[in-house]
């Protein structure tokens, strides 16, 4: 009797916990990069550097007499950087990384609020399909169209 009761309890627990778990998604979803206790990957470090540049321009906007003239951003090659997690370099990333470089080139050719926001949009578009973690931070980099104040 005790053996049957123990068996029934074990079977019940297995069923309860097995049914309670979330089903696997039918298609892969973008996910957050795992925490890196040993520092940033090459790709993450490059993205931090890119964000620092955007933040620098935003800080410059707070100065009296700000002008888009002479503002520029470094061009980074994202496709040759090692990621935090290899699964994050997917087809979406491979398609969007060159668009980011193109947005930087356009900004450097004719710096403006519109061109700056195209760079922000390029970052956002890529992150939507690869690593959504920094989306809120990216959106904070957007500037108002009059080029002298932040949105």
Whether 119 is covered by a domain: the verdict is yes
Report how far residue 12's alpha carbon sits from residue 20's, in angstroms, rounded to the nearest whole number. 12
pLDDT tens, N- to C-terminus, the chain (151 residues): 555 544 444 444 454 444 444 444 444 555 555 555 557 899 999 999 999 999 999 999 988 889 999 899 999 889 999 888 888 789 998 999 999 999 999 999 999 999 999 999 999 998 888 888 888 999 999 998 776 544 4
Closest CA to 124 of 137, 113, 111, 107: 137
What's the pTM? Answer: 0.70
- Is the separation of the CB atoms in 40 and 48 below 8 Å? yes
Q: What's the confidence (pLDDT) of residue 124?
A: 94
114 CA to centre of own chain: 21
Whether 34 is covered by a domain: the verdict is no
Whether 12 is covered by a domain: the verdict is no
Residue 101: burial class (beta carbons within 10 Å; 0-12, 13-18, 19+): middle
Report how far residue 141's alpha carbon sits from residue 116's, in angstroms, rounded to the nearest whole number. 9
Q: What's the confidence (pLDDT) of residue 16?
A: 46
Report the 10 Å Cβ neighbour count for 68: 20
Whether 63 is covered by a domain: the verdict is yes
Q: What's the confidence (pLDDT) of residue 15?
A: 47
Report the domain count for the chain.
1
Whether 30 is covered by a domain: the verdict is no
Whether 15 is covered by a domain: the verdict is no
Angle at 135 between CA 142 and CA 27, to 5 degrees: 140
Report how far residue 118's alpha carbon sits from residue 101's, in angstroms, rounded to the nearest whole number. 11
Domain that holds residue 59: 40-151
Report how far residue 110's alpha carbon sits from residue 8's, in angstroms, rounded to the nearest whole number. 73
Whether 90 is covered by a domain: the verdict is yes
Report how far residue 83's alpha carbon sits from residue 85's, in angstroms, rounded to the nearest whole number. 5
Whether 7 is covered by a domain: the verdict is no
């Amino acid at each position: 009797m005790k053996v049957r009761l123990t068996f029934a309890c074990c079977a019940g627990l297995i069923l309860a916990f097995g049914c309670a778990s979330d089903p696997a998604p039918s298609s892969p979803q973008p996910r957050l990069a795992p925490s890196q206790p040993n520092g940033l990957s090459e790709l993450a470090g490059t993205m931090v550097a890119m964000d620092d540049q955007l933040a620098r321009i935003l800080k410059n906007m707070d100065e009296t007499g700000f002008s888009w003239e002479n503002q520029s951003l470094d061009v980074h090659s994202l496709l040759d950087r090692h990621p935090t997690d290899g699964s994050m370099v997917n087809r979406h990333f491979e398609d969007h990384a060159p668009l980011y470089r193109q947005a930087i080139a356009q900004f450097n050719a004719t710096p403006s609020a519109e061109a700056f926001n195209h760079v922000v949009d390029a970052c956002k578009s890529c992150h939507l399909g690869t690593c959504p973690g920094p989306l809120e931070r990216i959106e904070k980099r957007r500037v108002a169209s009059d080029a002298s104040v932040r949105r």
